[in-house]
Structure 1
Amino acid sequence: MALLGAAVVAVPLFKRIGLGSVLGYLAAGLLLGPSGIGLITDPESVLTTAELGVVMFLFIIGLEMEPAKLWALRKQIFGLGLVQVAACGMLLTGVGVILGFAPVVAFIFGMGFVLTSTAIVMQILGERGELSTDSGQRIVSILLLEDLAIVPLLAIVAFLAPGTGEQQVELATRLLGIAAPIGAVLLLIFVGRRIMNPLFGLLASSKLREVMTAAALLVVLGAALLFQASGLSMAMGAFLAGVLLSTSTFRHQLEADVEPFRGILLGLFFLAVGMSLDLDIVAASWQIITVSVVAFMLVKASAIYGIARLLKAPHAEAVERAVLMGQGGEFAFVLYTTAVTAGIIDGPTNAIFTATVIVSMVLTPFFIIGLRFLVPRQTQSMEGVEEVSGLSARILIIGFGRFGQIASQPLLAMRHSVSIIDNDTEMIRAAASIGFKVYYGDGTRLDILRAAGASTADLILVCTDKKEQTTRIAELVRDEFPLVRVMARAFDRAHAIELVKAGVEYQLRELFESALEFGGEAIRSLGADAEEAQEIVEGVRMRDRQRFDLQLAGEDWRNLGTLLISNAQEQARESGVTVPHAQAEDAVAKSTQPAQPA
């Protein structure tokens, strides 16, 4: 009751005065903990439970990270992430040595501080709606690598542990410490690919919502505990489980089931971190803690900024990344506790290290507030913009840019009932000035789709200009509103195939028809009559449709050329043009290559 009451009072208050929800949770925890009024005397027990909030947050992030998307981020994860972890680790180890710690102890101190707080950064990015942006994806990639880094770091701690003289036993224990995590990953992959999806299909047939919710929690907690038992991060286990279920037809239902628990437990985690800040330890060792916090945060932030700039990131993005990721994180506690168990550091040293990390976490929201003045963010003004609520038109248009504006006109001319949503406030105001009523809303969010009337619409037109958004919306509608027909704007051939597989009834590549018309006009200007030009254009359209159907069926593009050469030559002969077989083969083969954007 006390925790919930403190959160209900502090968080809205801190958000209202512009300090953010994270700082509200931390302040409430500090007030309730041993250093405050002492209502809760054992913050460690709360923190252990509250870590499940981070676990569930990573599970939801994993549900958004399909294997193909994760593979596309591999260079950022193992490139940018590895460079940042290695560079910051070396620099912070050096700082630890300068502060007077032994090299091994300084290494443990520095590497623990390298592991950024996933909970704080993800919460801030989520509140801003930046998890899916390019800059947000780079930060998420680095955080994933840092979470993975806990595995070799724990192995290094085991090897650095003082020997007991029983070398064979120690060697076997250390080898087991390496083999267990590998086995856990392989086991989870097997279960995720072979068992989880059929299991959810079976449970869904029972039509009992509470059973699906229980199964979702079982998957999250089971994966987390499996990884914890093998010496890995619980959050990483949940993330991998999410990735394995990201292509499941039940992923949106799973996200909806876990989301309420995630929000409550993540807030509880921040409360527990605030309670864990022991002001007595800070007062007794304030000199070394103050110097450590300032030195570590300054060096880490500078290194992050320098790496970002070297890799061509804009100044504003580099500064934001440095401020967001300049603190230590929750996985440092795991590393430091393991080092104590291994006999590398003692209890008082662990207390200093832990206090340093917690103080850095508490300071981060203040630095983010300062960032607003250092690098002002461009925010959309909501003046004159109405948010989506209770729409019920027969036709829903999502995205009102150039494509959506033109597509809407035949529908409006026929006086169909149309609702339009977009997330660009400037465009919404511009549309209002010429008589269009457009509501503000992000079509990639299930709650917005429900508010926009997607569940009762006859037809949804997805006209967004980013293919990732378009695909996400198509998948949401397919999974949540399977009876609604969907038409979508496709970016290119590969995206069109992706949309058809996502359940879109009709798709159109944004440049295809205009380019065909343009080419037809070109041959008319060179002397072709209207009928002849129309036949040529229709032939191109027909062959494109054949290629598309074959590629949709999974045919190798290299085999399509032979099938279509005769069609190309026949059309050319009908037009009075002789096309050699080799030339036709070359032209058709090139036109079937998936690298072509059309």
Structure 2
Amino acid sequence: MNSHEDHLLFNAVFLLAIAVIAVAFSRRLSFPPILGYIAVGMIVGPHGFSLIENEENIALLAELGIVFLLFAIGLEFSINQMMAMRKLVFGMGSVQVLTTAVVVYFIGHLAGLDTNTNIVIASAFALSSTAIVIKQLVEQSEIQSRHGRSVLGILIFQDIMAIPLLILIPTLAMSSNEDGALAMAMTIAFLKGIFVVVIMHLIGRYLLRPLFHEVASAKSQELFTLTVLTVALGAAAFTEEMGLSMTLGAFLAGMMLSETEYRHQIESDIRPFQDILLGLFFVTVGMIISIDILSKYFLEVIGITIAIIIVKGVIIYFASRLFNKEPGVSARISLSLAQVGEFGLVLMTLAFTYNLMPQEEGNILLTAAVLSMAVAPFMVKFNGHIAKFLHRGTYAQSHETLAESIADQNKHISNHVILCGFGRVGQTVGRFLHNSNEIFTALDMDIKRVNEASSAGESVFYGDATKESILRAAGIERAKIVIITFSDYHASMKILLRIRQIDANIPILVRTLDDSHVNDFIEAGANEVIPDTFESSIMLSSHLLLMIGHPPSKVLRETRLIRRDRYRLLENFYPGVDDDPSNPLQSHQLMKGIIHSVPLNETDFAVNKLLKEIPLERWQVTADAIKRGHVRGENPSGETKLRIDDHIVLSGLPEDVAKAETYIRTGNQD
């Protein structure tokens, strides 16, 4: 192996090792992992401790990271969602991006930046961080709020702008040395871009869907993953051969596959490659940043960072007001988007590659962009508090008006049910209540759904159920029960805690997707928690028993017993080949515990002992049955004497069952 390969392998391993520490540290501080990767690049790069001699090796891997980033963004892009939100996307989105770009270009021109640098910076600074903003809004249960949907619409338009901007950078490089050639180069490049988009659309429609259908029918995970990698990298190579950015091809390939039924499988397959290589990309961004320049121009960098946030924030605020958003909502939108995004970093990095920006000025601007991303999670997290502070009167008045409207229409009802969430599950519950002549009031944050339902005569109101004023307006003091039907754990928990602050005694029923959060909800004050997975199993089993002739009274008794025991009968499963209890991803998604059969051999410690002499309760393990010969005895007595060839059926958490089996075999309790 030659020294070049030695350096590449050593550099990659060295970077990954430091990245593990940096990302773990970022998580502890609730910082985005992106910032951890950038910090690693600053430390090990040529402007830091120069621990990596040849950054070109890492840059090669980082380019693949950019390809996978754009491929993943394309997969997230939904044409149907875009059309459903077209007013927000093409209205607010276009106004925000174009106005920000023009204002930034004008400021750059006044500051004396050259044309190419100005165009790159204006394009990069007009975009915001999809990864940071969406993740934070989802965690805060604000993605379906008024400001959340507006933010999503603007981010979708920014993704659309990826296509012309990806064409723009190499075009500027081709025309930078020729006077008056920019317009011609731009025209040719955009004609090429249109041609590429049309070709990729035809390939996606007539080739990719049938190709993936054939690959999926082979039922080979290896073949499926290989096909995904081939499509992503093949599309990137195609656009690069056309003289355009290879990231454009990856983005278009992702877009084509986003409309197929294989989208989610492709996302899961590409995720490991994307995350690792994308981390290396952000490391190379950190390598570009000079600590010397940061210390030398510290005040300038801080000033530019503050300017980015203020300029973008003001533009987005007035764009929102232009589209009749309330002052408080407009403030929350602007606070959520007033930063430069990862795609802006991609554009600036490409500009360095094509020598479109001078190193010193470009480095100052890049550092300011990164710092704006560093404060983004906190601005999104506290957007509500800041908006209240900035618009004390109008913000409070807006909530009061909304609460008064709900209260006015609910003032004459009592002993009713409050539905938090009116999606498919909430609507089904509502129909059952209506058919049972029960009065209910529903709260939901999807304005379209609320308008549709309320115009049809349903008692549904637009309101955030995490707000005390909204819950009181819905008559929570007079209600007899509250049901939370959201599938989002964070949203349901916030609502549950808020209700318990208002009323410690009102019964609360919570719906959850699986059993992973049942105990959390119970501890937070829920009276009953209904996991979708268990209920579908119960209904399937009930229908089966009825169809094969079991008396309805017996079936009803069995289902009541399971529900009364909080689904404990269904908690544990026999693990299969694909179930790894030690895998933390599966341990909370697939099972709370396992069922395991322990056959007794003549040398085992437990032979000839009574079952009660085996301290299973020490590990919170239960003996569900003992199989002796062809007979299985359920719920065995503690007086049962264990014999050779008995099979003890144990259930509990995997590690606890393993400890119990060790004791049964050896008598060792450690």
Distance change in 2, residues 1:57/1:442 (3 Å): farther
C-alpha contact 2:512 2:532 (8 A) present in aligned 1:
no
Q: 2:90 aligns with which of 78, 101, 115?
A: 78
- Any idea what SS the aligned residue of 1:327 has? coil
The amino acid of 1:301's aligned partner reads: G
CA RMSD of aligned residues (A): 4.6
**Alpha-carbon distance in 2 for matches of 1:109, 1:65:** 24
Residues 318 and 45 (structure 1), Cα distance of their counterparts in 2 relative to 1, 3 Å cut: farther
- Match for 2:513: what amino acid? G
> Where does residue 116 of structure 1 map in the other structure?
128
User: Would you say 1:190 and 2:202 are equivalent positions?
Assistant: yes
Give the corresponding residue for 1:403: 428
Residue in 1 aligned with 2:512? Answer: 440
**C-alpha separation in 2, matches of 1:355 and 1:15:** 21
Answer yes or no: is 1:258 the counterpart of 2:270. Answer: yes
Name the stretch that deviates more: 110-119 or 361-370: 361-370
Change (3 A) 1:457 1:7: farther
1:215 matched to 2:240? The reply is no
Contact 1:219 1:241 (8 Å CA) reproduced: yes
State the Cα distance separating 1:279 from its structure 2 match: 0.9
Cα offsets for 1:365-403 (capped at 9, x unmatched) = 4555664753589xxxxxxxxxxxxxxxxxxxx975363
In 2, distance between residues paired with 1:71 and 1:183? 23
Aligned-residue offset at 1:199: 1.0
How many Å separate the matches in 2 of 1:267 and 1:50? 8
Residue equivalent to 1:327 = 339
Aligned pairs (5 A) from 1:262-281: 262-281=274-293
- Give % identity: 31
> Contact 1:277–1:359 (CA<8 Å) still a contact in 2?
no
In the superposition, relative to structure 1, how do residues 51 and 162 fare at CA in structure 2: closer, same or farther (>3 Å)? closer
For 1:43 and 1:365, the matched residues in 2 are separated by: 30
- 1:328 is paired with a residue whose SS is coil
Q: Deviations over 1:555-593 (max 9, x none)?
A: xxxxxxxxxxxxxxxxxxxxxxxxxxxxxxxxxxxxxxx
> Aligned runs of 1:58-137 on 2, under 5 Å?
58-101=70-113, 105-122=117-134, 124-125=136-137, 134-137=149-152
Q: State the shift of 1:49 in Å.
A: 3.0
With over 3 angstroms needed to count, the CA separation of the structure-2 counterparts of 1:458 and 1:180, relative to structure 1, is farther
Match for residue 2 of structure 1? 14
The one-letter amino acid of 1:452's match is T
CA contact (8 A) 1:162 1:344 kept: no
What is the CA distance between 1:65 and its match in structure 2?
A: 4.3
Contact 1:161 1:343 in 2 (8 A): no
The amino acid across from 2:533 in the alignment is: A
Task: Name whichever of 256-265 and 29-38 sits farther off.
Answer: 29-38
CA contact 2:294–2:367 (8 Å) conserved in 1: yes
Aligned partners of 2:37 and 2:283 also within 8 Å: yes
User: Which residues of 2 match residues 231-250 of structure 1 at below 5 A?
Assistant: 234=246, 236-250=248-262
One-letter identity of the residue aligned with 2:426: G
Partner of 2:654: none
Q: Which runs of 5+ in 1 are unaligned?
A: 378-397, 411-419, 444-448, 461-598
Instruction: Tell me by how many angstroms 1:48 deviates.
Output: 5.3
* Equivalence for 2:176: 161
The alpha carbon displacement at 1:303 in A equals: 1.2
**1:408-447 alignment, distance < 5 Å:** 422-423=487-488, 424-425=492-493, 438-441=510-513
Q: Would the aligned equivalents of 2:514 and 2:533 in 1 still touch at CA under 8 Å?
A: no
For 1:298-313, list aligned pairs within 5 A.
298-313=310-325
Shift of 1:85: 1.8
Describe the shift of the 1:38–1:288 C-alpha distance in structure 2 as closer, same or farther (beyond 3 A).
same
Contact 2:339 2:373 in 1 (8 A): yes
- Map Cα deviations across residues 236-281 of structure 1 (whole Å, 9 max, x no partner): 5444333322342323322222233333334444444334321122
For residues 197-596 of structure 1, the aligned pairs below 5 Å read 197-230=209-242, 234=246, 236-286=248-298, 288-332=300-344, 346-365=358-377, 367-368=379-380, 371=383, 374-375=386-387, 401=426, 403-404=428-429, 407=432, 422-423=487-488, 424-425=492-493, 438-441=510-513, 452=533, 459=540
Q: Does the 8 Å CA contact 1:189/1:244 hold for their aligned counterparts?
A: yes
1:353 deviation in Å? 3.7
SS in 2 for 1:15: helix
Indicate which of 133, 142, 158 corresponds to 1:143: 158
Change (3 A) 1:102 1:30: closer
Alignment of 1:2-81 (within 5 A): 2-41=14-53, 45-46=57-58, 49-50=61-62, 52-53=64-65, 55-81=67-93
**Once the 2 structures are TM-superposed, how far is the Cα of residue 87 of structure 1 from its aligned partner?**
1.1
Which protein, 1 or 2, shows the higher relative CO under an 8 Å CA cutoff with sep ≥ 6? 1
- Counterpart code for 2:313: A
Secondary structure in 2 aligned to 1:262?
helix
Q: Under a length normalisation based on structure 1, what TM-score does the superposition of the two structures give?
A: 0.58
Offset from partner CA, 1:64-93 (integer Å, 9 cap, x none)? 544333333344333222211221122112
Asked if structure 1 preserves the Cα contact closer than 8 Å seen for 2:38 and 2:286, the reply is: yes
Distance 1:164 1:319, change over 3 A: closer
Distance in 1, Cα, partners of 2:275 & 2:116: 38
Unaligned runs of 5+ in 2: 1-12, 390-422, 436-484, 516-529, 542-670
Separation in 2, partners of 1:272, 1:337: 9
User: For residues 175 and 401 of structure 1, what CA distance do their matches in structure 2 show?
Assistant: 52
Contact 1:151 1:231 (C-alpha < 8 Å) held by counterparts: no
Distance 1:274 1:317 in 2: 35
Aligned counterpart, 2:418 = none
- Going from structure 1 to structure 2, the CA distance change for 1:363 and 1:428 (only over 3 Å counts) comes to closer
Distance across 2 between alignment mates of 1:124 and 1:269: 22
- Counterparts in 2 of 1:25 and 1:344: CA distance versus 1, 3 Å: closer
SS of 1:252's equivalent in the other structure is helix
Q: Distance in 1 between matches of 2:329 and 2:51?
A: 41
Distance 1:129 1:144, change over 3 A: farther
Report how far residue 21 of structure 1 moved.
3.6
Alpha carbons of 1:242 and 1:11: their partners in 2 closer, same or farther (altered >3 Å)? same
Figure out how many residues of one structure are paired with residues of the other and give that number.
Answer: 426
